[in-house]
A = this chain, B = another copy of it.
Amino acid sequence: MADKKYKTKQREELENYLRTIPEKHFTVQDICAHFREEGKNIGTTTVYRQLERLMEEGRVNKYILDESSSACFEYIESDGKCHHPSCYHMKCEKCGKLYHLDCHEIEDLTRHLEEHHGFKVDPFRTVFYGVCAECSGEADHCGDDCECHHH
């Protein structure tokens, strides 16, 4: 099962870049745009394939927040442990921002759901939708007509 893996220039540059943005969210397009700005060019296909491999290695997470928009990826520091108490996210329906849910209560709930409901939650896939503090504070300035979440 020892996969033969070549260490290519693209793979190395991609990983180097990812290391500079740990735990930030990005799309395939973001990556391509970044390298284009630096004069370097990495094909879209390659980025998809490298990210897929990194996912299999558990070094990248993939989130699907909205169809009809690109999937969101996140690089995980490769020291083998998650820096967050939990891997859940909260997504604001007003401004579109995505927050890590750093909270121990959710751990308790996760355990509760498994022990009492027999349901083993996948924190990577699970997103809490709602309204964030920022947006509920300035509700008047950011109503339904606000387009800020279309960035």
Question: Which residues of A are interface residues toward B (Cβ below 8 A)?
Answer: 64-67, 71, 90, 92-93, 99, 101, 103, 105-106, 108-109, 112-113, 116-122, 125-134, 136-137
Q: Is the interface of A mostly helix, strand, loop or mixed?
A: mixed
Of A116, A129, A132, most buried by chain B (CB within 10 Å of CB) is A129
For A124, the closest partner residue in chain B by CB is B129
A64-B66, A64-B67, A66-B64 as given contacts; A121 in contact with B117, CB under 8 Å: no
Complex Cα distance, B114 from A132, in Å, reads 9
Copy number in the complex reads 2
Complex contacts, A99 vs chain B, CB 8 Å: 119
Contact A128 B118 (CB under 8 A): no
Complex contacts, A108 vs chain B, CB 8 Å: 105
Contact A122 B113 (CB under 8 A): no
Contact A133 B105 (CB under 8 A): no
Complex Cα distance, B113 from A90, in Å, reads 10
- New A-B contacts (17) at CB < 8 Å, excluding given A90-B117, A93-B125, A121-B128: A64-B64, A64-B65, A64-B66, A67-B67, A103-B112, A105-B112, A109-B109, A113-B128, A113-B130, A118-B132, A118-B133, A119-B130, A119-B132, A122-B131, A125-B129, A126-B127, A126-B128
